[in-house]
Amino acid sequence: MLKFQAIRIFSQNWLGASLNVAKPKKGYSVAVFGLGAVGLVAAEGVRIAGASRIIGVDLNANRFELEFVNLKDYKKPVQEVIAEMTNGGVDRSVECTSHVDAMISAFECVHDVWGVAVLVGIPHKDAVFKTSPMNVFNERAMKELEVEKFITHEVPFSEINKAFDLMVKGEGLRCILFV
């Protein structure tokens, strides 16, 4: 029972990233990068919000039944593929991989004037985000969720039940388990 609650709470956070941070409106086009557990929940969030076009971006085509871009199928950058598919870029993108290259693609695939990219993944501390300066001048926006600030407790794995108790009591937002 508690394990299900933990999964549900984390899923709600991922859902919140796509609903409350990306804020897609009915009729919007959205690209979701990374179709693991986080990306699939994000895709569900933009579907609930009414996005008319959801483009999944991943290396595994079996993860997504709707419109899909497999990175292996193209020699050019995925952001160019998406821009061509959507006549200029998607309205929103949600990146769920933690890979800086996917973050750059998510940022660069949104429409130049009104597009917003939401970066859910957390890149390696040494990763470098490189993009053309013109992308900044074109008024693209990027939002990053700062999930580290929600870590309220660090608990040894041997005391995992304490982490669940904190969560159930509403005293812990995020517990980091360590060995």
The reported pLDDT for the residue numbered 56 is 94
Phi, psi of 178 (to 5 degrees): -130, 160
- In this predicted structure, the answer to whether residue 96 has a pLDDT above a threshold of 70 is yes
Separation in Å, CA 139 to CA 15, 94, 110, 117, 179: 26, 18, 11, 12, 44
Q: Which amino acid is at 36?
A: G
What domains, with CATH codes, occur in the chain?
A: 2-145 (3.40.50.720), 149-178 (no CATH)
Residue 33: DSSP 8-state: E
User: Residue 87 in 3-state DSSP?
Assistant: coil
CB atoms within 10 A of CB 97: 23
pLDDT in tens, 45-92: 899 899 999 999 998 877 777 789 998 899 999 999 999 999 999 999
> For residues 98 and 103, what is the distance between their CA atoms, to the nearest angstrom?
7
Q: Which of 1-5, 28-32, 85-89 has the lowest mean pLDDT?
A: 1-5
User: Residue 78 in 3-state DSSP?
Assistant: helix
What is the pTM (predicted TM-score) of this model? 0.70
Q: Where are the alpha helices (DSSP H) in the chain?
A: 2-16, 37-49, 78-85, 100-108, 133-137, 160-169
Contact 124, 101 (CB under 8 A): no
> For residues 16 and 19, what is the distance between their CA atoms, to the nearest angstrom?
5
